[in-house]
């Protein structure tokens, strides 16, 4: 059986209607609402075919049809038309740029909130992962006789602190000159794989400071590790509960549990980053997470700097408004890049303000 143009149109009508109403849609509804010039009986026959082909499903014998995962898949792959941002959304997004978000966590938190507000779905953002990025600078800050804070700046101006305890800690001036040597030896090294040569050089140039050197190398590793152990920002969990598909308490509970658990979400989000900057759509079971079989998640990655990227995901019921989410998501990614640029080069703007 071939997928005639008429069938495709009917399928699209079914999906549109179901996205809007969340009710199984029947042949009569289609015949009346959409102007195909066909009777309900004909539509019925076509729907029967579409069901046989697996694009739609009948929840029970005497009800209308709902799209299957496969139906949605066809929809997002070839039926869905690109949709521009409406004025409302544009101004929403624009409003964000002006706010001075000067810490990554805040930026993430705000972005998540904004996306939930715009889409009415649930937003999940992973903080940027540092990968194969190079060391820019190290400082040592002496806190007391034993404790030193090792401050590590990576490319992209990502800065992380690590506390370390030493048996013996040099004074401030000495630490400063040590940091000079360390920087000279390690600058430009890839964080997670420091060349042996560099380490040897370090030991040679700083005899007697083995303890500090070890702590420093460990801190560099931890910087990468801790970003792998990535933080998720969740926002708008309540939104998804508002959809009728989750009025069943049991379902709602297990979904909340899955969201809270974070482990499986992480995998899903990080799977994306490999595939470049395209939007990824996981429909229903495609996510591979049992509890999310009635949900779809649309993900995309954003770039903070070279080798420093994170992922944004928007989670909704399978009948979510794919085209809206895709366009909002694309808009937001552009937006983040603008904000980051501003963050690193803000003085032009500040001059104009004053």
Partner DNA sequence: AATTAGCACTCGAGTTAAGTGAGTGCTAAC
Partner DNA sequence: GTTAGCACTCACTTAACTCGAGTGCTAATT
Check residue 25 for interaction with DNA (CB under 7 A): yes
For residue 292, the 8-state DSSP code is: G
Q: Which of 28, 201, 203, 251 binds DNA (CB under 7 A)?
A: 28
Tokens of 204: 């040679």
Give the position of tokens 């990227």: 309
- Of the candidate residues 10, 11, 47, 115, the single one contacting DNA (CB under 7 A): 47
Least CB distance to a copy of itself at residue 284 (A): 22
CB of 75 to DNA, least distance (A): 18
> Minimum Å distance from CB 33 to a copy of itself?
30
Q: Does 321 bind DNA (CB under 7 A)?
A: no
Instruction: Decide whether 27 or 227 has the Cβ nearer to DNA.
Output: 27
| Residues of the shown chain interacting with a copy of itself in the complex, contacts defined by CB under 8 A | 102-103, 136-137, 139, 141-144, 146-147, 149, 151, 153, 157, 159, 161-163, 165-167, 172, 176, 180, 226, 235-238, 241-242, 247-249, 252-253, 256-257, 260, 343-347, 350
Nearest of 302, 313, 307, 301 to residue 339 by alpha carbon: 302
Task: Give min distance, CB of 249 to a copy of itself, in A.
Answer: 5
Considering only CA atoms, which of 218, 175, 179, 170 is closest in space to residue 202? 179
Q: Is 48 in the site for DNA (CB under 7 A)?
A: yes
* Of 20-28, 147-155, 205-213, 253-261: span binding DNA (CB under 7 A): 20-28
Spatial distance between the Cα atoms of 297 and 324, rounded to a whole number of angstroms: 13
The beta strand positions in the chain, using DSSP E, are 56-57, 66-67, 122-126, 129-130, 135-142, 147-154, 158-165, 232-235, 280-283, 295-305, 308-317
Burial (0-12, 13-18, 19+ Cβ within 10 Å), 260: exposed
* Nearest distance, CB of residue 307 and a copy of itself, angstroms: 17
**Interatomic CA distance for residues 157 and 137, integer angstroms:** 10
Shortest gap between Cβ of 244 and DNA (angstroms)?
10
The nearer residue to DNA, 22 or 163, going by C-beta atoms, is: 22
∠ CA(69), CA(296), CA(31), 5° rounding? 50
Name the binder of 29 from DNA, a copy of itself, none, CB < 5-8 A by kind: DNA
């Amino acid at each position: 059986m071939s997928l005639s143009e008429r069938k495709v149109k009917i399928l699209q009508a079914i999906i549109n209607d179901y996205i809007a109403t969340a009710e199984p849609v029947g042949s009569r509804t289609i015949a009346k609402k959409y102007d195909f010039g066909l009777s309900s009986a004909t539509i019925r026959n076509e729907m029967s075919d579409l069901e046989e082909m697996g694009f739609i499903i009948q929840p029970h014998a005497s009800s209308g049809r709902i799209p299957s995962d496969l139906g949605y898949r066809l929809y997002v792959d070839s039926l869905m038309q690109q949709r521009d941002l409406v004025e409302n959304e544009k101004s929403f997004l624009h409003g964000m740029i002006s706010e001075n978000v000067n810490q990554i966590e805040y930026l993430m938190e705000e972005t998540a909130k904004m996306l939930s507000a715009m889409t009415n779905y649930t937003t999940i953002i992973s903080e940027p992962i540092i990968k194969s990025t190079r060391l820019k600078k190290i400082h040592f800050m002496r806190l007391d006789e034993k404790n030193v804070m090792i401050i590590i700046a990576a490319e992209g101006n990502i800065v992380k602190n690590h506390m370390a305890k030493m048996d013996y800690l040099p004074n401030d001036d000495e630490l400063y000159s040590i940091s000079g040597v360390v920087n000279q030896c390690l600058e430009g090294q890839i964080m997670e794989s420091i060349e042996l040569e560099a380490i040897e050089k370090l030991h040679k140039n700083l005899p007697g400071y083995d303890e500090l050197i070890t702590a420093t190398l460990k801190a560099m590793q931890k910087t990468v590790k801790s970003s792998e152990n990535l933080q998720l920002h969740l926002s708008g969990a309540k939104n998804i509960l508002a959809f009728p598909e989750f009025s069943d308490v049991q379902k709602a509970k297990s979904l909340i549990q899955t969201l809270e658990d974070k482990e499986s979400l992480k995998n899903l989000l990080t799977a994306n980053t490999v595939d470049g900057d395209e939007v990824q759509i996981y429909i229903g079971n495609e996510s591979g997470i049992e509890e999310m079989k009635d949900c779809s998640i649309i993900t995309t990655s954003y770039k903070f700097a070279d080798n420093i990227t994170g992922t944004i995901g928007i989670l909704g019921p399978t009948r979510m408004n794919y085209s809206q989410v895709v366009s909002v998501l694309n808009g937001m990614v552009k937006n983040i890049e603008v904000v980051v640029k501003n963050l690193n080069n803000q003085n032009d703007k500040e001059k104009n303000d004053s």
